[in-house]
Structure 1
Amino acid sequence: MAIKITAVIFTLIGLALAIGGGQLLMLGGSAYYLICGLAFVLTAILLFLRKRVALHVYAGIVVVSLIWAIWEVGLDWWQLGPRGGVVIVLGIWLLTPWIRRPLGFQSPSGIRYGASAVPLAISVVISVAVAILSMFFDPYDQSGDLPTQAVAAAPALGGNVPNGDWHQYGRTPFGQRYSPLDQIKVDNVANLKEVWRYQTGDVKRPDDVGETTYQVTPLKIGDSLYVCTPHNLAIALDATTGKEKWKFDANSGMNPDRQHQTCRGVSYYKDQAAAPGSACAERVYLPTSDARLIALDAANGQVCPSFADKGTLHLEAGMKFDPAGYYYSTSPPAIAGNKIIIGGAVNDNYSTQEQSGVIRAYDVNTGQLVWNWDSGNPSQIQPLQPGQTYTTNSPNSWSVFSVDEDMGLVYIPLGNQVPDQLGMNRSENVEKYSSSIVALDLNTGADKWVRQFVHHDLWDMDVPAQPVLLNITKPDNSVVPALVGPTKQGDIYVLDRRTGEPILPITEEPAPGGAIPEDRTAPTQPTSALSFKPDRLKEHDMWGVTMFDQMVCRIWFHQYKYDGRYTPPSLQGSIIYPGNFGTFNWGSVAVDPERQVMFGMPTYLAFTSKLVPRADVPAKGQGEKGSEQGLNRNDGAPYGVYMGPFLGPLNIPCQAPPWGYVAGADLRTGKVAYKHRNGTVHDMTPLPLPFKVGVPGIGGPMITKGGIAFLGAAVDNYLRAYDLTNGEELWEARLPAGGQSTPMTYAVEDGRQFVVMVAGGHGSIGTKPGDYVIAYALPR
C-alpha cells in the first residue's frame, strides 16, 4: 500500500512540475522543473511496476538537483533549502523499509531483502552534508570596520542642545540622530535592563485605517519626555520614572478616507523673550491627522490661546480642493529663526484634485503666515492674498526637515505629484522639483538650490528621509558643510549643503524605456558613488518555501515587465525594484559627526505596478479606493494602478532573502564597510523561529559617542544594539509590540543614560499593535 500511495504522490508532483516547468521554459526560463517533473513521473511509473531501478532514477534526480542548485546560488542555505527540501525528504522516504522491501527480492529460503539503494543513499547524504555546510556560509555578508578615530575633535552637532537632552526629531536641527553621551559602551551595553514602561492608552481601533502606526521619536527637555500617538494625543512623562505628567487629546476624530493615522513627533520651542515660568513660555506643537497644528504649554498641556486661532493653526487654508481626510501633517514641523515651518502629507493616488504640497513658515509665537513656497508655483513666496489658492496637487513634503540656522537654510525632502505612476501633463516646475531636496531661505522662503534624485518619477520614489547635516573633513583637511540624503532607490547622496553640488560623485546612468504611449521615461537616472542600490533581479533570485511556489514565482517573474531599476509601470504589470517601500524610508540614517560615518538599515523588497484603464477601474464605493497597496484609483487620471509587494502564492516575498541589513559606510570616502543580515522570522511565521534571515523593516537608527548603534524597525519585535565599528549585534530586548519607530537616548539627574523605544506596531507591515514607551539603562 505504501508504495502505491508513494507512486500516486510522485505522479502528482511530477505532473505539477512538468506543467509548470513547461510554461516556465516557454517563457524563456529554466528547463530544470520540466526535466525534474518528467523524472518524477518516470519514478512513479517504475514504482507502480515495482522496479528497483526507480531508486536509481530518483538518485539521479537528487544529484542533478544538487548540481543545479549549487550552480544557481552557490552555498546559500536559504536558497538551497527550497530547491532541495522536497527532493531530499522524498529521497529519505524512498530509503525506508516500506519502499525498499516491495522493490527487493525473496531468497530461496523465504527471506525478503530490500532493494539496493546505495546510489540514492550516497546522493542524499551528500546533499544533506552540503546543506549543513551551507549553514556556515553567507554569500551576502560583507564584513569590515569603520574608522574608529575621530576626524573632528569638536564636531558641529547643530543647535544648542545640552548633551543629555533630545530636543528635536533627529535630536538637533541637523537630524544626525547622534548623542554625545558615552556611558553605554561596547563593553557594557549587554547589561542594559528595562527601568520603566508606560502605556499611552491609545490602542488600535476596529475602525482604524490600515496605515495606523506608532512612528514617534520622543523629545527630552529638562526632566520631561514629550510624545504623540497615532490618534493625536500629546503626552508628557517624567524622564526618570516614566510617570505621566499630563495628557492632551486633540480630538481629531476618525475618517476612513485618511491614508495614514500616525504622528512621528511633536516640536519643542522656548520663547527666550518670555518670563521664566510664565504661561506658554515653553511650548509643544502637535500636528494632527485632521490638518491642524496645536500649540500647547509644555508645563501642563494647556492650549496656548495666543497662537493662531485660539491655539490652533488650520492647515487647509489656501487649498482649492479640500476633501476631508486627504491632507494632514504626520511629521513634526521644524522651528528656527522664530518660525515654525511645516509641510503636509497628501493621500497618494486618490485623485488628481488634491491639496497643494506647499511649505509654509509661520511666526512661532503668533501663528501669522510669514512665507509660503509651493513647488508648483515657486516664485510666489509672499503670503497669499484672500481669495488666492496654492497649486493643486503640487509635489509635497511629508517627512522631516533639517535646518542650518547659521547658514539661513531649511532643507526640504520632496515627493512627487500624484498620480505617482503617471507623468503626463506635469508642469515644468513639477518636473524640476519632484523627488528632490530643495534648500529654502529660512527668512524669505526663496529656493537657493535644488538637487533632483529621480527624473520624471514614475515609481513613487519621493525623498522620504530627513536630510542629515554635518561637516566633512576632506583629505586635504579642508572642511565642507555637508548634507546626507538617503533615498528609496538606495543611493546616499553626499552634497555641499551651501550649493547642492556633490561631494561624492554623482553619475547619470542609462535607464529603461518602454513607458505607455501617453507617457515617457527619462533616458538617464542619477546614481551616487555611495549607494546601496540592489543588483538586478534574475530568475534564480526567485524564492519560495518549496520548489513549487518558487517555480510559480519564476513564472510570474517572466510574465511581468522587468528591465532593471526604473522599469516603468505598464498595462502588462511591471516589477519595481527597489519598490516604493524604499531601500531607505522615513527612518533615515544616523551619522557620527566625529568619525564622519553613517549607520543605516537598507531594505530590499520588490513591488509590482500594473496600470488599469479608467474604464476598468471599479466605481467608487465598491470596496476599492486609493491606498499604498491594492488598487490606487487616481480619480481624474486615465489610469488607476494596482501596486503592492511582489509576493508568491504563500504570501511571502517572491525574491530570495535577505530582505534587510544593517550597514555602515564612511562618508568621507563613500566606501561601505559592512552589511549584515538584520532580524529574524520570529514574528513572521506561526512558530517563533529564531532564524536570522535578514527581514524588512521601517524605522530609524540612533548612534551614540559610546560607539553603539540602536535600532528596532525590523518586523520581528526587538530593539537591538550594534557595534558601530563593525555592525556586530551586541544586545537585544524583546518588545511587546512592533518597534517601528526610532529610539532616542538622554541623561537623567543622577547621571544615568537612558535609551527609550516606542513600541506600537505598524499597520502596513502587520506588526503587533501596542501603546508602549519603554526605557532601558545600565544597572545602578
Structure 2
Amino acid sequence: MNVIRLSALLLSLHGCLRADAGRDWAGYLGGEDRSNFSTLAEITTENVHRLNVAWTYRSGEFKPDMRKQIQCNPLVIDGVLYGTTALQKLVAVDAATGRERWRFDPHTEGRSKMGDVRHRGLACWTNGRDRRLILAHDRYLYALNLETGKLVRAFGDQGMIDFKDGLATDEMVLNSGTPGVVFGNLYILPTRTSESHGSAAPGHIRAFDLETGRLVWTFHTIPQPGEYGYETWPPDAWKSFGGANCWAGMTLDKERGLVFVPTGSAAYDFWGGNRRGENLFSNSLICLDARTGKRVWHYQIVRHDIWDRDLPAPPNLVTVRRDGRDIPAVTQTTKSGHVFVFNRETGEPLFPIDERPAPASDIPGEFTWPTQPLPRLPAPFSRQTLAYDDLTTLTPEAHRAVVDRFARLRQHAPTGTPNYGGPVATAGGLVFIASTPDEMIRAFDRKTGRILWQSKLPAAGYATPATYVAGDRQHLVVACGGGKLGTKSDDVYVAFALPQ
C-alpha cells in the first residue's frame, strides 16, 4: 500500500528565524521546502467566518491608469512585513498596523528588456553579525540590511551584482523575479529568459556567496562539451540556444543538501527543427548537490518540447509510505495535469512511467521526439482527451452532468473562474487562496473543500498569501495588484485577522 503525505521537514532559513519560527513567514511560499504550509491554528474552521480587515497598505505611487501587477509572496520576520510594490519598490511594513518603516528603490523601472518584471518574493540570510534581505530583481541581485533597508556595501559591487556578467553577449535577455533558495552561505538563483531564439540567454543555475557576492558554482542547463547531455543537442548548441531555465522556483532539501530544479523549454518554445535531439536539461526535474552544483540525478518530463510545456511550479517534498517503510520523495506537477513522483535521493520513479508513442509533426522541417513519458499514478488532475462527443451546448442537463462529475471528486470548489496564484494551508484546517479575477479571497475547509469564508479585495490577488502572528494575533495578508485576465490594476496589501 502506498500513502503520500507531506513531509515533516519544515526547513528554516539559515539563521533568519527565531525559536518561535511558526509565528513568522520567513521564506518564500513558507520556507525553502516550498510547502505553502503554516503551523498556526488561531484561525480555524470554526471561527474563520469572523475574519475582518486588520489593515491595508498602499505605496502612494500608483496611478489609476497604470497597468501593473503584484505577484509577491511577502516575508514576515519579527513583526515586520517585507514585500514589493506594483512599481517594484521593496518596502518594510509593520505587520500589525501596516505602517511603512522603510523602502528601497532598485531603479529598474522601464529598464528590463522583457517588460515589467513580475517579482514574486524575497529571501533572508544571516552571517551571525547582521541579517540580510536578498532581492533578485530584473538582472541584479541585491543584499540589504534587514533592519534599515540599506545596501550591504561589502556584497558584490557596492551591494549588488549583475548576474548577466559572464554571458556571451549583453544582448541576451534574462531576469529573475522568483526567489532562489538559501543553503548555508549560498544563494542558488533561478532565472527567467526570453522565449525567442537568438535573444534568450541560457538558463544556467548559479550559486553566489551571500557574504561576498562571488560566483561559487554554475550548472549548465544547456550542456557544454564534455558535460552530460551534450549529445542531446546539435554540436555547439550552447553557443546559440537559450532557455531551459527555471522560472517557477526551486525547492531545497536542507537535511540532504539537495536542491530540486524544474526547468522550462528551450527557445524557441514552439519550433524545434533547428535543435534536434532530446535537449537536456530542458523540461526536466534536476537534482543538484547544493554545495557543488553537481548533478545527482535528473528526469526529463517532456522530450524535445515544442509546446511550451515548462515545469510550472516548485517541486514538493513528500514522504511515501510503502510496505510499512517511509521513502523520502519529491513530486513535480506539470502543465498537463500529471504528477511525477521520485525517490529524492536516487531519482527512481516510485510509480511506473510509460514511454508512450507520440505523433510526429506534419510541419515541414519540424522535429518531434517519437515518445513521451506519462506516469500511471497518481491519476492526472485534468482531463487528457477531448472528443467531438464531449462537446455540448450549455443547457440545464449539461450543467447537471458537470456537477455530477465534480461530486465524484473527494474535494472540489467550483468558483467559476480560473486561478492565477497559490494557496496557503494552515494547521487550523484551512486553505486560503485569492488568485481569481472576481477579486475575492476565500477560505476552504481543507478536508471537504467547502468554502467557509470569502471577502472582496480592492483588486484581484494574483499572488500567494502569507500568514503570521503580529500583535498576538494571527494574520492573513495578500498582495492585491490585479492587472491580469482583464482585471483592473492596483497597489495594495490587505491583511485580515480575527476581531480583538
Same fold (TM over 0.5): yes
- Alignment-derived partner of residue 192 in structure 2: 345
TM-aligned CA deviation for residue 205 of structure 1: 8.1
Q: Identify if the C-alpha distance between structure 1 residues 206 and 776 changes in structure 2 by more than 3 Å, giving closer, same or farther.
A: closer
- Alignment-derived partner of residue 155 in structure 1: 8
- Which of the two has greater strand per residue? 2
Secondary structure of 1:263's match?
A: coil
Secondary structure of 1:513's match?
A: coil
- Alignment-derived partner of residue 777 in structure 1: 497
Paired amino acid for 1:374: H
TM-aligned CA deviation for residue 484 of structure 1: 1.9
What's the Cα RMSD here? Answer: 3.0
Residues 203 and 769 in structure 1, CA contact (< 8 A), matched pair in contact too: no
User: How far apart, CA to CA, are the structure 1 residues paired with 2:372 and 2:268?
Assistant: 20
- Which of the two has greater helix per residue? 1
Structural mapping, 1:560-571, within 5 Å: none
- Alignment-derived partner of residue 486 in structure 2: 766
User: How far apart, CA to CA, are the structure 2 residues paired with 1:378 and 1:749?
Assistant: 54
TM-aligned CA deviation for residue 537 of structure 1: 2.2
Structural mapping, 1:533-682, within 5 Å: 533-539=382-388, 673-677=410-414, 679=415
Secondary structure of 2:490's match?
A: coil
Residues 179 and 704 in structure 1, CA contact (< 8 A), matched pair in contact too: yes
Q: Identify if the C-alpha distance between structure 1 residues 178 and 696 changes in structure 2 by more than 3 Å, giving closer, same or farther.
A: same
Structural mapping, 1:201-216, within 5 Å: 201-203=60-62, 212-216=68-72
TM-aligned CA deviation for residue 155 of structure 1: 2.1
Q: Identify if the C-alpha distance between structure 1 residues 541 and 256 changes in structure 2 by more than 3 Å, giving closer, same or farther.
A: farther
TM-aligned CA deviation for residue 494 of structure 1: 2.1
Task: Give unmatched runs, 5+ long, in structure 1.
Answer: 1-146, 275-280, 382-388, 547-655, 665-670, 680-693
Residues 322 and 355 in structure 1, CA contact (< 8 A), matched pair in contact too: no
Paired amino acid for 1:520: F
Q: Identify if the C-alpha distance between structure 1 residues 380 and 260 changes in structure 2 by more than 3 Å, giving closer, same or farther.
A: farther
- Alignment-derived partner of residue 56 in structure 1: none
Paired amino acid for 1:370: V
Secondary structure of 2:410's match?
A: strand
Alignment partner of 1:756 is 2:493:
no
User: How far apart, CA to CA, are the structure 1 residues paired with 2:136 and 2:5?
Assistant: 38
Pick from 346, 351, 359 the counterpart of residue 504 of structure 1. 351
User: How far apart, CA to CA, are the structure 1 residues paired with 2:240 and 2:63?
Assistant: 35
RCO higher in structure (CA 8 A, sep ≥6): 2
- Alignment-derived partner of residue 121 in structure 2: 265
Pick from 221, 239, 251 the counterpart of residue 77 of structure 2. 221
Secondary structure of 2:330's match?
A: strand
- Alignment-derived partner of residue 359 in structure 1: 205
Pick from 146, 154, 159 the counterpart of residue 306 of structure 1. 154
Residues 467 and 483 in structure 1, CA contact (< 8 A), matched pair in contact too: yes
Paired amino acid for 1:712: A
TM-aligned CA deviation for residue 169 of structure 1: 0.9
- Alignment-derived partner of residue 41 in structure 2: 182
Pick from 217, 220, 244 the counterpart of residue 374 of structure 1. 220
Secondary structure of 1:163's match?
A: helix
Task: Please give the per-residue CA displacement for 1:657-693, whole angstroms capped at 9, x wherever unaligned.
Answer: 999xxx99xxxxxx9632332x2xxxxxxxxxxxxxx
- Alignment-derived partner of residue 262 in structure 2: 413
Task: Please give the per-residue CA displacement for 1:395-419, whole angstroms capped at 9, x wherever unaligned.
Answer: 1111211111221111111011111
User: How far apart, CA to CA, are the structure 2 residues paired with 1:380 and 1:722?
Assistant: 51
Alignment partner of 1:714 is 2:436:
yes
User: How far apart, CA to CA, are the structure 2 residues paired with 1:337 and 1:657?
Assistant: 55
Paired amino acid for 2:28: Y
How many aligned residue pairs are there? 476
- Alignment-derived partner of residue 164 in structure 1: 23
- Alignment-derived partner of residue 97 in structure 2: 241
Residues 276 and 367 in structure 2, CA contact (< 8 A), matched pair in contact too: no
Residues 204 and 769 in structure 1, CA contact (< 8 A), matched pair in contact too: no
Task: Please give the per-residue CA displacement for 1:150-205, whole angstroms capped at 9, x wherever unaligned.
Answer: 978x9221226511111111211111000011111111111111111111235378
- Alignment-derived partner of residue 522 in structure 1: 369
Alignment partner of 1:532 is 2:381:
yes
User: How far apart, CA to CA, are the structure 1 residues paired with 2:206 and 2:409?
Assistant: 37
Paired amino acid for 1:773: Y
Q: TM-score, normalised by structure 1?
A: 0.57
Larger Rg: 1
Q: Identify if the C-alpha distance between structure 1 residues 256 and 329 changes in structure 2 by more than 3 Å, giving closer, same or farther.
A: closer
User: How far apart, CA to CA, are the structure 1 residues paired with 2:345 and 2:322?
Assistant: 20
User: How far apart, CA to CA, are the structure 2 residues paired with 1:213 and 1:178?
Assistant: 24
- Alignment-derived partner of residue 285 in structure 1: 134
- Alignment-derived partner of residue 639 in structure 1: none
User: How far apart, CA to CA, are the structure 2 residues paired with 1:439 and 1:205?
Assistant: 44
TM-aligned CA deviation for residue 287 of structure 1: 1.8
- Alignment-derived partner of residue 31 in structure 1: none
- Alignment-derived partner of residue 230 in structure 2: none
Secondary structure of 1:770's match?
A: strand
User: How far apart, CA to CA, are the structure 2 residues paired with 1:702 and 1:255?
Assistant: 33
User: How far apart, CA to CA, are the structure 1 residues paired with 2:26 and 2:436?
Assistant: 25
Q: Identify if the C-alpha distance between structure 1 residues 151 and 214 changes in structure 2 by more than 3 Å, giving closer, same or farther.
A: closer
Paired amino acid for 1:215: Q
Paired amino acid for 1:196: W
- Alignment-derived partner of residue 465 in structure 1: 313
Pick from 449, 458, 462 the counterpart of residue 736 of structure 1. 458
User: How far apart, CA to CA, are the structure 1 residues paired with 2:60 and 2:374?
Assistant: 45
- Alignment-derived partner of residue 129 in structure 1: none
Task: Please give the per-residue CA displacement for 1:496-518, whole angstroms capped at 9, x wherever unaligned.
Answer: 11122222333333333334131
Percent of aligned positions with the same letter in both sequences?
33
Structural mapping, 1:447-466, within 5 Å: 447-466=295-314
TM-aligned CA deviation for residue 522 of structure 1: 2.6
TM-aligned CA deviation for residue 310 of structure 1: 0.5
Task: Please give the per-residue CA displacement for 1:120-139, whole angstroms capped at 9, x wherever unaligned.
Answer: xxxxxxxxxxxxxxxxxxxx
- Alignment-derived partner of residue 28 in structure 1: none
User: How far apart, CA to CA, are the structure 1 residues paired with 2:255 and 2:369?
Assistant: 37
User: How far apart, CA to CA, are the structure 2 residues paired with 1:392 and 1:315?
Assistant: 18
User: How far apart, CA to CA, are the structure 2 residues paired with 1:173 and 1:188?
Assistant: 30
Structural mapping, 1:431-446, within 5 Å: 431-446=279-294
- Alignment-derived partner of residue 250 in structure 1: 106
User: How far apart, CA to CA, are the structure 2 residues paired with 1:699 and 1:475?
Assistant: 33
Q: Identify if the C-alpha distance between structure 1 residues 488 and 747 changes in structure 2 by more than 3 Å, giving closer, same or farther.
A: same
Structural mapping, 1:79-118, within 5 Å: none
Q: TM-score, normalised by structure 2?
A: 0.88
Q: Identify if the C-alpha distance between structure 1 residues 390 and 293 changes in structure 2 by more than 3 Å, giving closer, same or farther.
A: farther
Alignment partner of 1:725 is 2:447:
yes
User: How far apart, CA to CA, are the structure 1 residues paired with 2:116 and 2:178?
Assistant: 11
TM-aligned CA deviation for residue 541 of structure 1: 5.0
User: How far apart, CA to CA, are the structure 2 residues paired with 1:419 and 1:500?
Assistant: 28
User: How far apart, CA to CA, are the structure 1 residues paired with 2:221 and 2:367?
Assistant: 22
Residues 329 and 344 in structure 2, CA contact (< 8 A), matched pair in contact too: yes
Residues 88 and 109 in structure 2, CA contact (< 8 A), matched pair in contact too: no
Pick from 177, 183, 186 the counterpart of residue 330 of structure 1. 177
TM-aligned CA deviation for residue 711 of structure 1: 0.8
